[in-house]
Chains A and B, each alone.
Chain A
């Protein structure tokens, strides 16, 4: 419900789109951010009052447990929103990633998302909440980072199935952002060059994402069409 104070868990809220979303929501709602950084490196970037739990998603089972414990510690019995936004990937030549790159990408983007959705379902169910998977327009296939594309397609499929399974209880959605100006490409070892200047600003993407989360629709692509028609301004608020 618009206006009411919500309890929200956001993964990967320490930079990029996730951090912009945290900034937008933190005054009005209670936020728990989960990230891979130690507390000392995460807390300084987060707005005051935002809770943080160190939970590297490369180990999906351990991270799921850490996040569930942090929710209990916060005394939350219900969860209105779970935004599975953390993501990682590696740009490679010739479509050939190393075993380690494939395993990390799938663990962080796909396996951890599945396990978190499952573990936090009871909290979401109590609130009639919304589960948001952040995918990517790359989910249709992308030779520059095949495992990343695969992981996002996996989220697309997971969301379709869970949306049907949990209909009437928890709203499940997958949102596919288009190219956004964050550090993700650099972290992935890829330089988009001058193209980067036309990428969507992270704060605009976060604004559109907030609107889609409030609308609970799925699947939704958030790319240039919506951005150039002023999507960051007309998207609703949570």
Chain B
């Protein structure tokens, strides 16, 4: 009896599930009746309502092994490629290994995972595939140049596969570009003295993103602040990037990677 219950349950996959936005996605999906597999480098703690696999997404061998394991657990109806790391500071002061590691985790791993799951038939028909990019996609990100690049690449990947994946699997692909969130990640990388209260709680961002993905939206900017910023960035990428430089880059007091 339990067997049928488990296999009939809808399955979800969330990368970067141990904390922040990923944790919020995993908990929401679990509360909604999904059997959730979370992936992270860090343990999530014993009390989480989902299954947790450990994987260093910067390690290509580990990602390949993970795909094999996931193919056996699938197919997944909800896949959220959320894991991401950052590197803030003047571009030339950040070590090359940190830039390379960031591009591996934020761009290469989600793309390889997605293509691997698709090739293995592990994407459930009619499902949703969500890539978490960043609001910086609409401007430039001085002070986090490789992070901005990694998220732009991911957004373009999502746009590229949207039509083919709809056709082949009936899967709807979305990009989410959240603005600043109230997470430990943001606190670690924000300049000194910025106000955490202005950032959106991760659970609210997760709720809005999931709701928009259900509606099949290609581009999701959760919240009116994010939507307004995206519009400004589209209209005037140059001036908005200069403003970002004044707000972030000129206030950088340290490099964090």
Contacts A150-B160, A165-B142 given; does A114 touch B119 at CB 8 Å: no
Contacts A103-B108, A149-B156, A150-B156 given; does A114 touch B149 at CB 8 Å: yes
The answer to whether A99 touches B100, judged by C-beta atoms less than 8 angstroms apart, is no
Q: Is B159 an interface residue (CB 8 A)?
A: yes
Bitwise interface map of A from 153 to 169 toward B, beta carbon under 8 Å scored 1, else 0 = 11111101111110100
Q: Which residues of B contact A141 (CB under 8 A)?
A: 156, 158-160, 162
Shortest CB-to-CB span from B112 to chain A, Å, is 5
The answer to whether A164 touches B241, judged by C-beta atoms less than 8 angstroms apart, is yes
The answer to whether B99 touches A118, judged by C-beta atoms less than 8 angstroms apart, is yes
Q: Is A42 an interface residue (CB 8 A)?
A: no
Interface size on B, residues (CB 8 A): 56
From B111, B144, B156, B241, residue with most partner A Cβ within 10 Å:
B156
In the assembled complex, the Cα of A147 lies from the Cα of B140 at a distance in Å of 21
In the assembled complex, the Cα of A129 lies from the Cα of B220 at a distance in Å of 38
Shortest CB-to-CB span from A121 to chain B, Å, is 5
Question: What residue in chain B is nearest A160 (Cβ atoms)?
Answer: B140
Q: Is B170 an interface residue (CB 8 A)?
A: no
The answer to whether A161 touches B144, judged by C-beta atoms less than 8 angstroms apart, is yes
Q: Is B148 an interface residue (CB 8 A)?
A: yes
Question: What residue in chain B is nearest A60 (Cβ atoms)?
Answer: B100
The answer to whether A164 touches B160, judged by C-beta atoms less than 8 angstroms apart, is no
| Majority SS at the chain B contact face | helix
Shortest CB-to-CB span from A145 to chain B, Å, is 8
The answer to whether B163 touches A102, judged by C-beta atoms less than 8 angstroms apart, is no
The answer to whether B142 touches A161, judged by C-beta atoms less than 8 angstroms apart, is yes
The answer to whether B92 touches A121, judged by C-beta atoms less than 8 angstroms apart, is yes
The answer to whether A160 touches B100, judged by C-beta atoms less than 8 angstroms apart, is no
Contacts A102-B108, A114-B99 given; does A162 touch B91 at CB 8 Å: yes
Q: Which residues of A contact B155 (CB under 8 A)?
A: 153
The answer to whether B111 touches A146, judged by C-beta atoms less than 8 angstroms apart, is yes
The answer to whether A139 touches B96, judged by C-beta atoms less than 8 angstroms apart, is no
In the assembled complex, the Cα of A139 lies from the Cα of B157 at a distance in Å of 9
Q: Which residues of A contact B92 (CB under 8 A)?
A: 118, 121-122
Task: Pick the residue among B96, B115, B144, B150 that contacts A118 (CB under 8 A).
Answer: B96
From B99, B143, B157, residue with most partner A Cβ within 10 Å:
B157
Q: Which residues of B contact A149 (CB under 8 A)?
A: 156-157, 159-160
Among B16-24, B188-196, B242-250, the stretch that binds chain A is B242-250
In the assembled complex, the Cα of A157 lies from the Cα of B153 at a distance in Å of 8
Q: Is A81 an interface residue (CB 8 A)?
A: no
From B136, B159, B241, B242, residue with most partner A Cβ within 10 Å:
B159
Task: Pick the residue among A102, A147, A161 that contacts B91 (CB under 8 A).
Answer: A161
The answer to whether B160 touches A146, judged by C-beta atoms less than 8 angstroms apart, is yes
Q: Which residues of B contact A115 (CB under 8 A)?
A: 96, 99-100
Q: Is B60 an interface residue (CB 8 A)?
A: yes
Task: Pick the residue among A61, A147, A157 that contacts B152 (CB under 8 A).
Answer: A157
Shortest CB-to-CB span from A174 to chain B, Å, is 11
From A143, A146, A152, residue with most partner B Cβ within 10 Å:
A146
In the assembled complex, the Cα of A153 lies from the Cα of B140 at a distance in Å of 12
The answer to whether B242 touches A164, judged by C-beta atoms less than 8 angstroms apart, is yes
Task: Pick the residue among B90, B107, B244 that contacts A150 (CB under 8 A).
Answer: B107
Task: Name 20 extra pairs, CB < 8 A, besides A157-B140, A160-B141.
Answer: A94-B118, A96-B118, A96-B119, A99-B64, A103-B108, A103-B112, A106-B107, A118-B91, A121-B92, A143-B163, A145-B160, A149-B156, A150-B107, A150-B111, A150-B156, A153-B152, A157-B141, A161-B148, A162-B91, A165-B145
Sample 5 A-B pairs with CB under 8 A, ordered by A number.
A94-B167, A95-B160, A111-B99, A158-B149, A161-B140
Task: List A residues at the B interface (Cβ < 8 Å).
Answer: 60-61, 64, 94-99, 102-103, 106, 110-111, 114-115, 117-119, 121-122, 139-143, 145-147, 149-158, 160-165, 167
Task: List B residues at the A interface (Cβ < 8 Å).
Answer: 60, 63-64, 67, 90-92, 94, 96, 99-100, 103, 107-108, 111-112, 115-116, 118-119, 136-137, 139-146, 148-165, 167-168, 237, 241-242, 244-245, 249
